[in-house]
A and B are shown apart, each in its own frame.
Chain A
Amino acid sequence: MSTDDVLQTFVAEARELLLGMEDSLLALERDPRDGEAISATFRAIHTIKGSAGLFSLDQLVAFAHVAETLLDLVRDGRVAVDGDLIALLLECSDYLGFLINQIAGEEVADAATQEARRPTLLARLQACIASSVAPSASQAESPRQAPPSAVPAAGEVADPVHNDAWHISLRFGPEVLKNGMDPASFLRYLGTLGEIAHITTLWQQMPAPEAMDAENCYLGFELDFRSEASREAIDSTFDFVRDDCRITLLPPRSSIDDYLKLIAEAPEGLERLGEILVASGALSQAELERALERQRQAAPPALGEMLIQEDGIPAPVVQAALEKQAKGRENRSAATRFIRVDAEKLEDLINQVGELVIAGASATLLSQRSGDTALIEAMAQVGRHVEEIRDRALSLRMVEIGESFNRFPRVVRDVSRELGKDIELVITGAETELDKTVVEKIGDPLMHLVRNSMDHGIESIEERLARGKPAQGRLSLHAYHESGSIVIEVADDGGGLKRDKILAKAMDRGLVAPGQALTDRDVFNLIFEPGFSTAEQVTNLSGRGVGMDVVRRNISALRGSIDIESQEGVGTTMRIRLPLTLAIIDGFLIQVADSAFVLPLDLVQECMELPDGERLQSRGQSSHYLDLRGEALPCLRLRNLLNLEGESSQRENVVIVQYGNRRAGLVVDRLLGEFQTVIKPLGQIFRHLRGFSGSTILGTGEVALILDVPTLVHDASGREARLLGESNAGQAIGSEQPA
Chain B
Amino acid sequence: MAKTILIVDDSASLRQVVSIALKGAGYETLEACDGQDGLNKLKGQKVHLIISDVNMPVMDGITFVTELKKLPEHRFTPVIMLTTEAGDSMKQRGQAAGAKAWVVKPFQPAQMLTAVTKLVMP
State A316–B58 Cα separation when bound (angstroms): 22
Write the A40-76 contact mask toward B (1 if CB under 8 angstroms, else 0).
1011001101111111100001000100110010001
Chain A residues whose CB sits within 8 angstroms of the CB of B92 once the complex forms = 141, 313-314, 316
A40: min CB distance to chain B, Å:
8
From A4-12, A535-543, A688-696, A711-719, give the one contacting chain B.
Answer: A4-12
Chain A residues whose CB sits within 8 angstroms of the CB of B59 once the complex forms = 326
Task: Answer whether residue A302 sits at the interface, using C-beta atoms and an 8 A cutoff.
Answer: no
Chain A, 289-337, CB within 8 A of any chain B CB: 313-316, 318, 322-323, 325-326, 329-330, 332-333, 336-337
B49: min CB distance to chain A, Å:
8
B95: min CB distance to chain A, Å:
5
State A241–B98 Cα separation when bound (angstroms): 12
Query: Pick the contact of A7 from B13, B76, B77, B95 — CB < 8 Å?
Result: B13
State A427–B63 Cα separation when bound (angstroms): 35
Contact B121 A185 (CB under 8 A): yes
Write the B1-33 contact mask toward A (1 if CB under 8 angstroms, else 0).
000000001111110111010000000000001
Chain B residues whose CB sits within 8 angstroms of the CB of A46 once the complex forms = 55, 84, 105
Contact A333 B106 (CB under 8 A): no
Given A6-B16, A43-B55, A332-B58, verify A180-B106 contact (CB < 8 Å). no
Given A1-B16, A3-B17, A53-B108, verify A315-B96 contact (CB < 8 Å). yes
State A419–B93 Cα separation when bound (angstroms): 47
Contact A244 B100 (CB under 8 A): yes
State A241–B80 Cα separation when bound (angstroms): 12
Q: Which chain B residue lies CB-closest to A61? A: B106
Chain A, 228-274, CB within 8 A of any chain B CB: 237, 239-241, 243-244
Write the B94-120 contact mask toward A (1 if CB under 8 angstroms, else 0).
011011111001111100000101111
Chain B residues whose CB sits within 8 angstroms of the CB of A179 once the complex forms = 76, 78, 98-100
Write the A158-179 contact mask toward B (1 if CB under 8 angstroms, else 0).
0000000000000000001111
Q: Which chain A residue lies CB-closest to B53? A: A50
Contact B84 A326 (CB under 8 A): no
Given A54-B106, A61-B106, verify A180-B55 contact (CB < 8 Å). no
Contact A54 B10 (CB under 8 A): no
Contact A326 B58 (CB under 8 A): yes
Query: Pick the contact of B63 from A39, A61, A185, A322 — CB < 8 Å?
Result: A322
Q: Which chain B residue lies CB-closest to A318? A: B93
Given A43-B56, A49-B105, verify A180-B12 contact (CB < 8 Å). no
A300: min CB distance to chain B, Å:
36
Contact A47 B10 (CB under 8 A): yes
A339: min CB distance to chain B, Å:
11
State A54–B87 Cα separation when bound (angstroms): 19
Interface size on B, residues (CB 8 A): 58
Query: Pick the contact of A333 from B58, B66, B119 — CB < 8 Å?
Result: B58
Chain A residues whose CB sits within 8 angstroms of the CB of B12 once the complex forms = 9, 13
Given A239-B118, A322-B66, verify A54-B82 contact (CB < 8 Å). no
Query: Pick the contact of A47 from B55, B88, B107 — CB < 8 Å?
Result: B55
Looking at chain A, what size class is its interface with the partner chain? 35 or more
Contact B118 A185 (CB under 8 A): yes
Q: Which chain B residue lies CB-closest to A60? A: B106
Chain B residues whose CB sits within 8 angstroms of the CB of A336 once the complex forms = 10, 33-34, 37, 57
Chain A residues whose CB sits within 8 angstroms of the CB of B95 once the complex forms = 243, 313
Task: Answer whether residue A737 sits at the interface, using C-beta atoms and an 8 A cutoff.
Answer: no
State A181–B107 Cα separation when bound (angstroms): 22
Chain A residues whose CB sits within 8 angstroms of the CB of B9 once the complex forms = 47, 50
B117: min CB distance to chain A, Å:
6
Chain B residues whose CB sits within 8 angstroms of the CB of A316 once the complex forms = 92-93, 96
- Most central of A40, A50, A139, A314 by chain B CB within 10 Å: A50
Chain A, 206-247, CB within 8 A of any chain B CB: 215, 237, 239-241, 243-244
Chain B residues whose CB sits within 8 angstroms of the CB of A139 once the complex forms = 89
B59: min CB distance to chain A, Å:
5
From A145-153, A186-194, A645-653, give the one contacting chain B.
Answer: A186-194
A232: min CB distance to chain B, Å:
12
Contact A3 B20 (CB under 8 A): yes
Query: Pick the contact of B101 from A3, A181, A325, A329 — CB < 8 Å?
Result: A181
A295: min CB distance to chain B, Å:
35
State A56–B37 Cα separation when bound (angstroms): 28
Chain A residues whose CB sits within 8 angstroms of the CB of B35 once the complex forms = 326
Given A6-B20, A185-B118, verify A322-B60 contact (CB < 8 Å). yes
State A432–B32 Cα separation when bound (angstroms): 30
State A146–B82 Cα separation when bound (angstroms): 22
Contact A237 B118 (CB under 8 A): yes
Contact A50 B11 (CB under 8 A): yes
Contact A50 B106 (CB under 8 A): yes
State A186–B120 Cα separation when bound (angstroms): 9
Contact B11 A13 (CB under 8 A): yes
Query: Pick the contact of B109 from A1, A54, A188, A244 — CB < 8 Å?
Result: A54
A203: min CB distance to chain B, Å:
20
Contact A9 B16 (CB under 8 A): yes
Q: B-side interface residues toward A, CB under 8 Å?
A: 9-14, 16-18, 20, 33-37, 49, 53, 55-60, 62-63, 66, 75-79, 82, 84-89, 92-93, 95-96, 98-102, 105-109, 115, 117-121
Q: List 19 A-B contacts (CB under 8 A).
A: A9-B13, A50-B53, A51-B17, A51-B106, A54-B13, A56-B108, A72-B84, A72-B87, A188-B121, A215-B76, A240-B119, A243-B95, A244-B100, A314-B92, A318-B93, A329-B57, A333-B34, A333-B37, A336-B57
Given A49-B105, A243-B95, 14 further pairs, Cβ under 8 A: A9-B12, A47-B9, A47-B10, A51-B17, A53-B105, A54-B106, A55-B13, A56-B108, A65-B84, A179-B78, A180-B49, A181-B101, A329-B58, A332-B57
